[in-house]
Structure 1
Amino acid sequence: MLLILTRPGADWEAEPLLTQLRKLPRQQTSAIAQNVAYTLMRPTATQEEDLEQPDERCKLLFGLWRLTLLEGDSDIEPRDPNEANSTARGVVANAFLETVFRTMHEQKKESIDPAYLLAFSEFLEAQDKDVRDPSPMMLARYAAHIQHWDNEWFDRKIAVKLNEIADTPQSRSFWAGIFTANNVTDALMVSTRSALRTGWLQVSTELPGSIEAYIDLHSAQFAYYTEPEESTWADPFTLNAPAATRARWIRNVAHRVSRVDSFPE
């Protein structure tokens, strides 16, 4: 019924729909949210046309996110965005974020709406209430977008999380999101440089699923962002990583350097 009411061409508002959904048992609402999130995010087969009623879509998705339940009995924080994206909370969080940034792009906005920043803050704080919440990890995947559109908010809310890969559930989840980011910009590379330099031991022991992404970003840091006089920059990694891992890293660096050298002057 929800998809019929919000179909392309229909005239609808988010709040009346959310009012009805709040009357349902939370478990039922979670199932509905998981089932409709993708279609609300992408109501048509192609993205050639602008979204209809994008602000209402964002409001509805955020309202659904607030109504979804966390799944599982484990007290372990999420460390795999792909797994998180199979849960109601993860699916709706990702759908909301993608819809927000698609809307900003289509409307050519120059800054993030304050209402969306408040939603982002709720995402960031969600894991403090329940360590199982994947929402901060999903937000981390859009860190470069946030940094581009609202650098001040990024500096206040996100930059501190990028100073190190800490031995905390919140840090591990957030970095798992960074390692699967939708976009990695020069600015984000600068923001993550110090943590990537020293983060190998934490990644290798606590985020094994992110090792390949770490090698990719670390080798890019070394090839593109490290000056000749910073000859010891990679030591925390090269002195601790296994030989096979170092070999993959060396191949990555060599490949990147060869691409730079092949560019015409």
Structure 2
Amino acid sequence: MENRYYKNKALSLIKQFVEKKLDNELINLKNYTFWYIDGDPNFGNGSKYADADCTKIVYAIDYLLYYEALKDENGNLLIPGYSHPYKSNFKGETIFTFKTLFGTQEIMEDRIKKFYNCYQKLGATTLLPCKTIKIGNKSESINTWKGNYKNKYKDYIYPFLLELKEYLDNKKCSDQEMQKLFEENKFYFANKTYEQYLKDFKLSDYDFSFEKDNYFYHWDKKKDTEKYKSFCKIYIDHTIEIINSRTNKMVDELTELLLKEKEFPKEYLK
């Protein structure tokens, strides 16, 4: 049975957010970038420049959007803020990367600036199973191992999805550490197909293979400048298209869910 306390908690925060940040219209979330939160203690996570995926408001939205797909046998969706602090099964993930490709540069050309604003929209966020293992002297999750620039993924989604597909198809994959992480998170991955994973995390409609040829990262001093620039253009164009499409679909889905909640103001959902 669903934990009504947590659902009411999520609904209450979303209502406050619509009132204080979206001018009483949920549809404005389609164009909202979570950079605007800027350290807000009610909706952020205590960090001035927190990624959207780990903010309080996005976790509230996640609770509604992912509940049916990811709830456990007790009817709980165990994410931060909606479970015991040390018992979350899933944590936020940003699908696309900024720092890996562009670093921390403060002066950005218009194309990069457009991507910078866009990659903190709702459609750039998802969840990942978050149980950890010890690798060397560090505790690593799928998220942190995927994001380590020393690994082959370099925080890009496409090489990660290839590794995941290999594991779900064969119960083994070439990266032994990632395989151990998948196994540690068997509460989710056991008996899942790759197609089910994509559906559960709202990734089925998108092609990420534009990343396949070059996983550039800004601090690689040996990178070919022209190829790097070409890849950046392709990357930005594709990611913005995916983020905007996914944002629109997620807001539409959230609207349908909120329409079923009797106490949520319907005038906010026009």
After TM superposition, the score normalised by the length of structure 2 is: 0.28
Q: Could you say which structure has the higher strand fraction?
A: 2
- Structure with bigger RCO (C-alpha 8 Å, 6+ apart): 2
Q: Could you say which structure has the higher helix fraction?
A: 1
After TM superposition, the score normalised by the length of structure 1 is: 0.28
